[in-house]
Structure 1
Amino acid sequence: MLIDDLKENLKKFVDNPDDSVACVYGVLQDGDVFNIKKLDIASTDQPAIRDLYLKSTQDLLISKTDLSLIKLSSCDDRREAIYEYDLELPINLNFLKDLKLDDSFSKFNFDSDDLSKMRGLIIEIGNETETYMIYKSFPLIHLFGRGSLYFGLKKAEERFERIDQSFLRLTTGFQLLIYQDTLYVVDLSFLEKSASFKGLIKAEAEKGIAAIASLGLLDSIEPLKDMIEDLAFSRKLTKVINDSPVIKAGISNAQIIDFIKGHSILSKKIKISADETKIELNTKVSKNEFLRVLLDDHLYSVLTSKLYVARAKDDAA
């Protein structure tokens, strides 16, 4: 789906709030098991929740004029972007796979369920014909538990009294969105803080290293393996395996080496072997520049006759 289509479809919900309702589900974690429970919320409070997250949808997605939509495996350095999730789901988000929310989910019960195990909320907004879901996790959910002192001023009274019970405070914003069975990442930093997601990126990066090794272009693949723990570098390796224009076009090793040798900047940063058949990656700079070559980030402007590094690119046709 194109970003304009996604924004237009979501705008229909925002423009017609009274046609939609909001249902809230809690995600509870018990060890490695995640359970989804429906939260019983008074019908008089549901419109306020609906409007809160319709506004968040407007602010985070619809109103952003320069927003791009990119596949997560091919993400680049552009700031205003959301990402279509096209990798394996990490363990802590696997409950979102093929998720369908309905009345079959049991309700959260304070007698049998532990509010402190709440790890996230799923809010489904929609009508009888179409819905979308958002997911928000800590720190976007504020859980106030017993063991600390909280005071509130009761309506029409002057005295502050202690609130001696656990409660949730809902705030604006969300990190993930699901629409028409597609998962979109609105807040990439949320994923990057997840240990299980880092593990997935590392696994994908190892596939990228294997693909590069198969080219026979490097004198040694070890310099790339040494960078596998660097998340930013691993993301570039993931993009190489999924979206390298150079590999997809079948550019030969000789062509790649000739391009580097003839480039006024790259020729000073990437070392070519004495027999001019291999690339030697002996510095961190050379490793990053080599990946930029495979991602075709080094471009030449016909108009200005200048060389550029274009980390964010969309096809012109």
Structure 2
Amino acid sequence: MTRDDIKSDMKSILDTCSGIKVFFIDDDNNELYDSDIESEGLDEFMVSFVSDLKNKFTDNEKFSIPNLSNADERKHALYYFDFDDQIHEFKYLDKVNEMQANKIIGKYQVRSKGLSSIKAVVIRLKGSDGKVISFYQYIHRTSLWTSGKGVFFTTHKTRVVKMTDDVLRLNNSFIFAKIGQNYLINNVRAFEKELGFDKIIHAKAAQYCTSIESRGLVENLEKFNKQINKEINFARKFVKVFKNSAVIEQNLSNEEIISFAMSKPFYEGKLKLTEDGSQFDLNSISRCSNFLQLLDDEFLKSELTGMNYIARAKDRASS
């Protein structure tokens, strides 16, 4: 399934959306339950949710689906999951997408449990052709008000009274989605922090670091390794560079990389070589960051104007 196929199927589902189903994940046992939300409120939420998805993505000309390993700060993007190691939460969307329309599963026992044990919400939308897309929402404290935490008030006829029931607010945000066999990440930071993907990033970065070490391009990777283990932003960028950089992909020689870096004033003042000039000396955090920038091929020159640029977010153009 190509990225264009994903966009096309997603647009078709949203343009002809004929049904919504919402499930709760119970924090007590990590099981998936039918939310049993009344249909009128669910239909109203569906209209709002679909409209927001269309505005941000399928009806937006800037909508793109880059690889998660190449994630940057661009807007209107859903990042394609391109890692081998998967998180546990993917199984919920697997189950929901494969579920037959008439499949009956247990209902969430709101009378006995209230809403406080809901860990996450799974939303499934269905198009007129039967295709589905599902979304995973993590429940934050701002989305859930429970009667046992603080005192909340609401209106009742002509008075303001204390709330005695739990309140859950469904919103249009989501961490990741699944369409077909493809996982699309919307909130990268939450995907790492809330769902534990940061551990996979750190492990993958450590693995890639051994490849850099074997090339002999750097004299000592101790400082670099410490940054990988300590800073998720640094580890994430290194994984992005190693999986997507043309510098790595084309297997440029150490001599070519060093010669290029030292020929550019931008890098010459920010990177340091060993005494014999055969390796980079990364004995500072700033040099580690600048070395990553070099490997990411961020230094670009416009063929039109001859101006030099640092481009952190970029897509390869067709030759």
Tell me if both proteins adopt one fold, taking TM over 0.5 as the criterion: yes
What secondary structure, in the 3-state scheme, does the structure 2 residue paired with 1:22 have? strand
Q: Which residue of 2 aligns with 1:70?
A: 66
Match of 2:151 in 1: 149
Name the structure 2 match of 1:170. 170
The Cα RMSD (Å) is: 2.4
Deviation at 1:184, TM superposition (A): 0.9
Q: Report SS of the residue matched to 1:171.
A: coil
Following the alignment from structure 1 to structure 2, what is the Cα–Cα distance between the partners of residues 140 and 179? Answer: 28
After superposition, the Cα gap between the structure-2 partners of 1:316 and 1:209, relative to the gap in structure 1 and judged at 3 Å, is same
Aligned pairs, number: 310
1:21 aligns with 2:19: yes
Q: Percent identity?
A: 26
Corresponding residue of 2:217: 217
Correspondence 1:237 to 2:233:
no
1:48, distance to aligned residue in structure 2 (A): 1.4
How far has the Cα of 1:301 moved from its partner? 2.1
1:1-317 to 2 correspondences below 5 Å: 5-17=5-17, 20-30=18-28, 34-87=30-83, 88-91=85-88, 93-96=89-92, 98-101=94-97, 102=99, 103-110=103-110, 113=113, 115-127=115-127, 129-139=130-140, 142-147=143-148, 148-154=150-156, 157-194=157-194, 196-228=196-228, 229-317=230-318
SS in 1 for 2:66: strand
Q: Which amino acid aligns with 2:201?
A: I
Listed one character per residue, the Cα deviations across residues 183-216 of structure 1 (whole Å, up to 9, x for unaligned) are: 1111223224337222111111112211211211
Deviations 1:110-137 (A, max 9, x none): 3564631211111111046211111211
3-state SS in 1 of match to 2:133? strand
SS of aligned partner of 1:314: coil
Q: SS of 1:265's equivalent?
A: helix
The 1:120/1:141 distance shift into structure 2, 3 A limit, reads: farther
Judge conservation of contact 2:114–2:166 (CA < 8 Å) in 1: no
Return the structure number with greater strand share: 1
C-alpha displacement of 1:9: 3.0
The answer as to whether partners of 2:13 and 2:133 remain within 8 angstroms in 1 is no
CA distance in 1, matches of 2:4, 2:141: 27
| Structure 2 unmatched ranges of 5 or more | none
Would the aligned equivalents of 1:60 and 1:173 in 2 still touch at CA under 8 Å? no
Task: Give the Cα–Cα distance (whole angstroms) in 1 for the partners of residues 282 and 214 of structure 2.
Answer: 16
Question: Residues 279 and 315 of structure 1: is their aligned pair in 2 closer, same or farther, counting only changes over 3 Å?
Answer: same
Task: Kindly state the Cα deviation for residue 106 of structure 1 after the two structures are TM-superposed.
Answer: 1.4
Deviations 1:131-181 (A, max 9, x none): 111121133872221224334334xx3244443222322223323221112
CA distances 1:266-307 after superposition (whole Å, capped 9, x unpaired)? 112111122221111123222112112222222222222222
CA distance in 2, matches of 1:196, 1:266: 35
CA contact (8 A) 1:140 1:171 kept: no
Structure 1 alignment gaps of length 5 or more: none
